[in-house]
Structure 1
Amino acid sequence: MNDFLLAGMIAAERLPAAHESKTAVLSELKNSLAGASGEQRTASLLKRELDLPGEAIFLSDVHIPYKDGAAQIDLLLVHKEFVCVLEVKNMIGEFYFDTVNFQFHRVVDGRREGMRNPEAQLHRAVRAASGFLGVPVQGVIVLASRSGKVVEAPKHYPVVSLDYLPFHLEQLANGLKLFDTAALASKLENLPARNFSHHWLERHNITFDSLRLGVTCPTCRTCSLDWQERKWNCGVCGFYSRGAHEVTLQEYALLFGSELDTRLAYRLLGVKNKYVLYRLLEKTAPQSEVRGKRQIVENRELLRDYFGRIYR
């Protein structure tokens, strides 16, 4: 799970139903989950069945600087004989690529839906990767769902089904060692982390005060826990835990940054006693050098584990 997907999960859980962006957030999360599922199936299949000489390095959710922004790449395969961008589409329906105007639409149950053109997305990603790495880069559109069918094919890039993808990639190998895979992969892995949160929150008009605050019960997921007798307790389902607040702190860090104002911490966790707050934050968000500020010790794996159990 990348940060974008985690942010959608947090907002879906904490935004009240009346919030203006609740429907949009839920719809965006549904599409993101479908896309992530397709990318995961693609990566798993290639790691299991792709037969290439030497090591093949797979990088997922890569953001490469391009012009005034960044190009997002679903999956990037780096091999000594070729480099290939995989634009994965986990969609159903009949697909039509307009090779004159470079538009794209699909037909599902008789309904025509205009969408972003996967070929244009792939072309942008290929140019960004090639320019950043300084090497020629291939590209392919991958249909991760067996319920998708191409009626009119794109002009510049191939479209292949997931089942055929290993064979397609194997045909790109030419028997020559052209690239230093370790050097290329290192250059990509050392790219700075993408900070999307400010723009995403602004686009959906999400602020700290628009969220349901408190430590979420992982069982009920719609109510907050109370701190009683040195543990978090749910008055609805009976759940209890000593460390449930750690997920809440990680949620805040992902959305708003790791610096936490002590005054906000009371509201975030839903506690009033300063001694309780200090004990809860002693290791997970120690005091910083700035008075009244704390620094959350970031741990994305904690969030991935928490939401991984919810969105299995």
Structure 2
Amino acid sequence: MAINAKIGGLTKVEALESLLGRLPKNHPDREFLEIRLYRASAGIRGESKMINKFKEFYIDEDFQPVWDLNMEIGNWAVQMDGLLLTNRCVIILESKNISDELHFDAANDEFYKKTFKEGNKITLENPVIQLKKHIRFLERWLKSQKINLPVTGLIIFTANQCEFHSKPAGASICKTYQMNQYLYHILEQYPQEASSHKISKIKKMILANQIPFKKSPLCEFYHIDPKDIKTGVYCRGCKSYSMKRWHKTWQCSDCGFKDSGAAQFAVLEYFALIGNRITNKQLRDFCHLESPHAARRILLQRELIPAGDLKSRSYSLEK
């Protein structure tokens, strides 16, 4: 997923960490969620490696990189890690932080890895198929904008410990340290022809057509009963849920840590985990607050969108 994508105001990694922290240790979905957290963290690390490596890229022509893309055509929405815009072509950049021995099965159009230590076979989503889908999407979008540029792509495997056992024909796949050389090679295959639009204008058009990253609160997305969620305000000092209102701040009753922003983080946790709207009572129940006035002050501290009359008013994070 894109580095900057948010769920209820939290990054996906923060949201998953929050969910795991608020679930019982013996919850049946814990192992699955821990794997999701590991993969989300690995994906973000991989994207960062790719972006850092691209800082060494240069051509003596007009070019523009674009990172963290969320685009849609009608009901068709895609997320792409990055694009390289040039007058020759557009190159979609997809990072994959997958370790171990990597196999592309051309006969079955499948992708799997074998672990170095145990030799276990693990089938994964084929990144070549994903890239082809993104190429079709971008070709269609460029055509709708009357931009005449060919589209191709490069898949970059960013894990330090990965080894290609096979590669599919007709797809550009490399490791991080090889990325820029592969980009130069791809560009050599396309003639240098001026695009119908300036590259800087195409970039502005793409950025102007970004859509918000949309994901349901994690309890809904992973089918977890909200009643399983531990309530209370999180303490960054001792990682308990024992923060209490103390004058104009919050203080942990276990370790004494003070944090004036603790309640605001709890509001973001609620949106990320429980629901897209929150009422005064729901905030009080979640934060163990007794005073409706104190809860109202917390809600008004953020630029939330109110709906309904005063007695039934609820708030959302964004329109």
Q: Under a length normalisation based on structure 2, what TM-score does the superposition of the two structures give?
A: 0.83
Task: Indicate conservation of the 8 Å contact 1:64/1:129, yes or no.
Answer: no
Please say if residues 43 and 58 of structure 1, whose CA atoms lie closer than 8 Å, have aligned partners that are also in contact. Answer: no
Q: 1:57 aligns with which of 34, 51, 65?
A: 65
1:43 — aligned with what? Answer: 51
2:186 equivalent in structure 1: 172
Equivalent runs, 1:212-223 vs 2, <5 Å: 212-223=230-241
Relative contact order (alpha carbons < 8 A, sep ≥ 6): 1 or 2 greater?
A: 2
Aligned to 2:163: 149
**Paired residue for 1:205?**
223
- Superposed displacement of residue 142, structure 1: 0.7
Counterpart in 2 of 1:123? 132
Q: In the alignment, what sits opposite 1:231?
A: 249
Which residue, out of 191, 203, 219, partners 2:210?
191
Deviations 1:207-235 (A, max 9, x none): 44332222211122232311133321112
Long gaps (5+) in structure 2: 7-11, 144-148
Letter in 1 for 2:64: A
Contact 2:235 2:242 in 1 (8 A): yes
Aligned partner letter, 1:176: E
| Counterpart in the other structure of 2:109 | 102
Q: Is the 8 A contact 1:249 1:296 kept in 2?
A: no
1:93 aligns with 2:100: yes
What is the Cα-based RMSD across aligned positions, in Å?
A: 2.5
SS at match of 2:48: helix
Change over 3 Å in CA distance of 1:102–1:287 after alignment to 2: closer
Q: Secondary structure at the match of 1:17?
A: coil
C-alpha distance in 1 between matches for 2:48 and 2:235: 28
In 1, Cα distance between the equivalents of 2:58 and 2:174?
17
Change beyond 3 A, Cα 1:290–1:39: same
Specify whether residues 51 and 21 from structure 1 end up closer, same or farther in structure 2 by C-alpha distance, changes over 3 A only: same
| 1:79 alignment counterpart | 86
Residue matched to 1:114: 123
User: Per the alignment, do residues 83 and 285 of structure 1 end up closer, same or farther by CA in structure 2, a change over 3 Å counting?
Assistant: closer
Alpha-carbon contact 1:82-1:172 (below 8 Å) kept? no
State the match for 2:9 in structure 1: none
Letter in 2 for 1:139: G
Asked whether 1:275 is paired with 2:293, we answer yes
Tell me whether 258-267 or 171-180 shows the greater mean CA deviation.
171-180
Give the C-alpha shift of residue 203 in structure 1. 4.2
**Distance verdict in 2 for CA 1:191–1:264, change over 3 Å:** same
Aligned-pair identity in percent equals 21
- 1:173-226, Cα deviation, whole Å (9 max, x unpaired): 34333253334333432232132215x533421344332222211122232311
Tell me if the contact between 1:133 and 1:184 (Cα under 8 Å) persists in the aligned partners.
Answer: no
CA distance in 2, matches of 1:158, 1:221: 45
* Contact 1:64 1:132 (C-alpha < 8 Å) held by counterparts: no
Shift in Å, 1:258: 5.3
Q: Following TM superposition, by how much is the alpha carbon of 1:67 offset from its aligned partner in structure 2, in angstroms?
A: 8.2
Pair 1:92–1:293, CA change in 2 (3 A): same
Structure 1 unmatched ranges of 5 or more:
299-312
User: What is the match of residue 302 of structure 1?
Assistant: none
| Distance in 2 separating the partners of 1:116 and 1:287 | 38
Contact 1:76/1:86 (CA < 8 Å) preserved in 2? yes
How many residues of Structure 1 are paired with residues of Structure 2 in the alignment?
295
Could you say if the C-alpha distance between residues 51 and 258 of structure 1 is closer, same or farther in structure 2, counting changes exceeding 3 Å? same
**What is the match of residue 252 of structure 1?**
270
Q: Distance in 1 between matches of 2:221 and 2:305?
A: 32
- 2:315 aligns with 295
Give the deviation of 1:68 after TM superposition.
5.5
CA distance, structure 1, for counterparts of residue 111 and residue 305 of structure 2: 52
- Residue 181 of structure 1 is aligned with which of 194, 199, 220? 199
* Correspondence 1:159 to 2:173: yes
CA distance in 1, matches of 2:86, 2:268: 36
Matched to 1:63, the amino acid is: N
Rate the CA distance shift 1:67–1:268 in 2: closer, same or farther, 3 A: same
Instruction: Kindly provide the amino acid, as one letter, of the partner of residue 266 in structure 2.
Output: T
Inter-partner Cα distance in structure 2 for 1:13 and 1:69: 34
1:271-300 CA-partner distances (Å, limit 9, x unpaired): 0022322333332266835223243556xx
